A and B are shown apart, each in its own frame.
Chain A
Amino acid sequence: MELIIRGAVIYLFLLLLFRVLGKRSLAETTTFDFVLLLIIGEATQQALLGNDFSTTNALVLITVLMGIDLVFVKLKGKYKKLDRLLEGTPLILVDHGKPLKGRMKEAKVDTEDILEAARISHGLEQMHQIKYAVLERDGQISIIPS
């Protein structure tokens, strides 16, 4: 029982934390972000496993975490409000070449991020070539050229 509680608490805490930090926090993973993720993983490991390093404990824990995730996936599919709450909604950042500064500020996205996405996805050179830039639910920026 303790293992399930530990797994659920850590799962919910990380879910809340990364939701609070915003969409872009993990989508633009730099080398340092990757290192930070490893450290978070290491810190979490002890809390999840406790002093029991047996294979059984690890297997049970993985099953518990996957189980919780499965429950959330089902619930998100059933309740749209919960889905919006946990995953957010897409947000338009550029409208016909015009950056929407207020939205970009709140979403912690700058012009460089949008131009980078435009270059990578469509080879675009200028902001006015972008019809729409959308910050998707997974934190990626999708570009619709003019």
Chain B
Amino acid sequence: MQTKIERIKHSLELDEKLDHQQKGWMVQKICSIGIGIIVVLTALGLFGDGWLSSKKIVINGTSLHYEKFLRYEKEMNIGWAITDQKEVQFLIPMRYLDHFKIEKVVPESYETAITEGYVSYTFKANPAAQTLVRFYLNPQKTGSVRGEWLVNKQSFKFMHFIYP
């Protein structure tokens, strides 16, 4: 509800610019709503670590869990759960890795190699049990990043947005 602003005549040598004040109050109210919306969206994960940010993809018994929204130089991880495989090979595009620094891979890979445009990580796995692999990456560039990892030749496409 609009508050009635009193208009007065005074003897002070000052220019109130009441219309300017009223515009300012209006902007303040709009911005207050904006701040509230940002707080809610943050809680939901629009800026990372939350319901809006977290995503899971499952293809042929291999599941991928990752964050869509990342922050510059804040470490994140990409988790994989693989079943029914004796050996697991991850092919990560070089172009994707151009945006990240690999901090560590858990567990350590059996073999690491560089092939045409990809970095390859190979793991020995027990087909009777689920194999969990986690890549810890540190974003080094801001903006949108698309990635297409190959896990035992199965393609997984995903996208991140890295906030500055």
Contact = CB atoms under 8 A, between A and B. Distances in A.
Given A89-B15, A102-B5, A103-B5, A20 B28 contact: yes
Interface in A109-146: 132, 134, 144
B12 A92 contact: yes
A95 B10 contact: yes
B78 to A, nearest CB: 23
Given A51-B73, A102-B3, A106-B3, A92 B8 contact: yes
Contacts of A84: 17, 20
A91 interface: yes
A132 B27 contact: no
Nearest to B32: A20
Interface string B71-83: 0010000000000
B25 interface: yes
A62 B10 CA distance: 44
A105 interface: yes
Question: What interface size band does chain B fall in?
Answer: 20 to 34
Nearest to B10: A92
Interface residues of A, number: 22
A132 B28 CA distance: 25
Interface in A1-59: 9, 20-22, 50-51
B31 interface: yes
A88 interface: yes
Interface of A, secondary structure class, is mixed
A144 B10 CA distance: 12
B10 A132 contact: yes
Given A22-B28, A51-B73, A95 B8 contact: yes
Contacts of A50: 73
A32 B14 CA distance: 33
Given A100-B6, A100-B8, A144-B12, A91 B21 contact: yes
Interface of B: 3-6, 8, 10, 12, 14-17, 20-22, 24-25, 27-28, 31-32, 35, 73, 164
26 contacts: A20-B28, A20-B31, A20-B32, A20-B35, A21-B28, A22-B28, A84-B17, A84-B20, A88-B21, A88-B24, A89-B15, A89-B16, A89-B17, A91-B16, A92-B10, A92-B16, A95-B10, A100-B6, A102-B3, A102-B4, A102-B6, A103-B5, A106-B5, A106-B22, A132-B12, A134-B14
Interface of A: 9, 20-22, 50-51, 84, 88-92, 95, 100-103, 105-106, 132, 134, 144
Ranked nearest first, the 5 interchain pairs of A and B with the lowest CB-CB distance are A20-B31, A89-B17, A100-B6, A102-B5, A106-B25
